[in-house]
């Protein structure tokens, strides 16, 4: 097991994010490089950063305009780059973030033609993500047929939830057909759960809500470092308002859009996934930084609604836990927007949250407590690391098993 690398892939509609880890001599998964190919189908660019954050590559690349062929070619160019910087290492495995594992996959799985076919059947449940996750697996299988690939699921961390947290009040035969709450961002929550003991000590076992606020956003209630409830449901559309997704919505709205406004299912899907959320309400952008900087009345309302939705869902999760001892902010907005954290914490004063304003404003990339010493709820910012979680799972799935064997 010397001089071996693991590659982690998170493949989306217009970008491929990756991280490469050294798994040869060091059991802590040293990240060698990470980066992304973005602008697939538009103006593609390859950006790679080294272990210390230094820029190793940042240049325009040329890809076919067709996004499917573009993705395939993106992987070819990524492997060319990695091959040129492998420093004698061979690629031992590729681990993928796959958004939906459905009912059958509650653990990571080694990819075979059969597992791939099963995962393809889940595409309607995550139309924005699943197709791109799976086409990445196919593209890499074509380029490197002998390298094992492992799928790690955003749903798997939530498999611990009780029946009441997962069921909808729908007829039995619909529930039994798999229409239930799955929850997502599980790799992020699993990582947060893995570092809670180091930061919280014994309180890690207590009642914790983690808020993953990125382009997609959700919250997860944990007890004993296990998922008890989450804001996302059957699809990654439910719960919080997001960059371009609406979050919780009366299902009657969907019926109205189709019946009274004559929208097709495809048009409704586009509206709810791609044109709603911060983008739809602000009319400016789905990117929080841009919305916060814009300052138009609509942008301010978008932020207000975003914060309001977090407050409502936080109340619901605190109820599921029967109280709250720790609140954790993570992902792009959670880790970087002091203003959103401040507004959320202000609204959560009724739960016993008291923010330390100075600690909240301080910029740091380390996990840190931002509530006052007297706050009944400890509030933390913890950087997430989904890639590391995938790397650990992928390594665990390889036949040679434990490291160093």
Give residues in contact with ligand ADP (CB under 6 A): 214-216, 243, 287-289, 292, 331-333, 336-337
Q: Give the residue at shortest CB distance from ligand ADP.
A: 332
Instruction: Work out how close the CB of 68 gets to ligand ADP at its nearest, in angstroms, rounded to a whole number.
Output: 21
Instruction: Work out how close the CB of 397 gets to ligand ADP at its nearest, in angstroms, rounded to a whole number.
Output: 24
| Cβ distance to ligand ADP smaller for residue 3 or 215 | 215
Instruction: Work out how close the CB of 365 gets to ligand ADP at its nearest, in angstroms, rounded to a whole number.
Output: 12
| Cβ distance to ligand ADP smaller for residue 269 or 287 | 287
Six-digit token string for 202: 């014994």
Whether 26 sits among the annotated catalytic residues: the reply is no
Tally of residues, the chain: 405
The full 3-state SS of the chain, as one line of letters, equals: CCCEEEEEEEECCCCEEEEEEECCCCCCCEEEEEEEEECCCCCCEEEEEECCCCEEEEEECCCCCCHHHHHHHHHHHHHHHHHHCCCCCEEEEEEEEECCCCCCCCCCEECCHHHHHHHHCCHHHCCCCHHHHHHHHHHHHHHCCCCCEEEEECCHHHHHCCHHHHCCCCCHHHHHCCCCCCCCCHHHHHHHHHHHHHHHHHHHHCEEEEEEECCCEEEEEEECCEEEEECCCCCCCCCCCCCCCCCCCCHHHHHHHHHCCCCCHHHHHHHHHHCCHHHHHHCCCCCHHHHHHHCCHHHHHHHHHHHHHHHHHHHHHHHHHCCCCEEEEEHHHHHHCHHHHHHHHHHCHHHCECECHHHHHCCCCCCEECECCCCCEEEEECCCCHHHHHHHHHHHHCCCCCCCC
Nearest of 115, 169, 105, 168 to residue 141 by alpha carbon: 115
Instruction: Work out how close the CB of 245 gets to ligand ADP at its nearest, in angstroms, rounded to a whole number.
Output: 11
Instruction: Work out how close the CB of 154 gets to ligand ADP at its nearest, in angstroms, rounded to a whole number.
Output: 11
Instruction: Work out how close the CB of 384 gets to ligand ADP at its nearest, in angstroms, rounded to a whole number.
Output: 8
| Cβ distance to ligand ADP smaller for residue 158 or 245 | 245
Nearest of 151, 140, 138, 173 to residue 102 by alpha carbon: 151
Distance separating alpha carbons of residues 128 and 215, to the nearest angstrom: 13
| Cβ distance to ligand ADP smaller for residue 320 or 328 | 328
Q: Which of 52, 66, 114, 154 is catalytic?
A: 154
Instruction: Work out how close the CB of 332 gets to ligand ADP at its nearest, in angstroms, rounded to a whole number.
Output: 2
Distance separating alpha carbons of residues 71 and 14, to the nearest angstrom: 8
Catalytic residues: 154
């Amino acid at each position: 097991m010397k001089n071996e690398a693991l590659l982690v892939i998170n493949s989306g509609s217009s970008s491929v994010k990756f991280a490469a880890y050294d798994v040869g001599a060091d059991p802590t998964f040293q990240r060698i490089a990470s980066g992304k190919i973005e602008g697939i189908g538009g103006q593609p660019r390859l950006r790679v950063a080294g272990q210390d954050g230094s820029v190793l590559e940042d240049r325009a690349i040329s890809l076919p305009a067709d996004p499917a062929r573009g993705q395939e070619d993106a992987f070819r160019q990524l492997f060319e780059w990695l091959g040129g910087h492998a420093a004698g290492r061979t690629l031992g495995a590729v681990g993928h973030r796959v958004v939906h594992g459905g009912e059958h996959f509650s653990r990571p799985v080694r990819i075979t033609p059969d597992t791939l076919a099963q995962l393809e059947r889940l595409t309607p449940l995550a139309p924005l993500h699943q197709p791109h996750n799976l086409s990445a697996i196919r593209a890499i299988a074509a380029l490197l047929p002998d390298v094992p690939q492992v799928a790690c699921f955003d749903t798997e961390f939530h498999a611990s939830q009780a029946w009441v947290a997962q069921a909808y009040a729908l007829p039995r035969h619909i529930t039994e057909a798999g229409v239930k709450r799955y929850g997502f961002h599980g790799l992020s929550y699993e990582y947060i759960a893995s570092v809670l003991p180091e930061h919280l000590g014994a309180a890690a076992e207590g009642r914790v809500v983690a808020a993953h606020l990125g382009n997609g956003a959700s919250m997860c209630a944990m007890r004993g470092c296990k998922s008890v409830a989450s804001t996302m449901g059957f699809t990654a559309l439910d719960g919080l308002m997001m960059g371009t997704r609406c979050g919780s919505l009366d299902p009657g709205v969907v019926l109205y859009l189709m019946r009274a406004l004559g929208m097709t299912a495809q048009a409704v899907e586009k509206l709810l996934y791609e044109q709603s959320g911060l983008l739809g309400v602000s009319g400016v952008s789905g990117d929080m930084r841009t919305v916060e900087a814009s300052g138009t009345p609509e942008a301010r309302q978008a932020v207000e609604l975003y914060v309001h939705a977090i407050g409502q869902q936080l109340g619901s999760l605190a109820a599921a836990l029967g109280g709250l001892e720790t609140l954790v902010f993570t992902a792009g907005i959670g880790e970087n927007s002091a203003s959103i954290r401040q507004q959320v914490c202000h609204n959560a004063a009724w739960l016993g949250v008291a923010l330390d304003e100075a600690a909240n404003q301080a910029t740091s990339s380390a996990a840190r407590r931002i509530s006052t010493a007297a706050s009944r709820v400890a509030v933390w910012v913890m950087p997430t690391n989904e890639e590391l979680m995938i790397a650990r799972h992928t390594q665990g799935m390889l036949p040679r098993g434990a490291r160093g064997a």
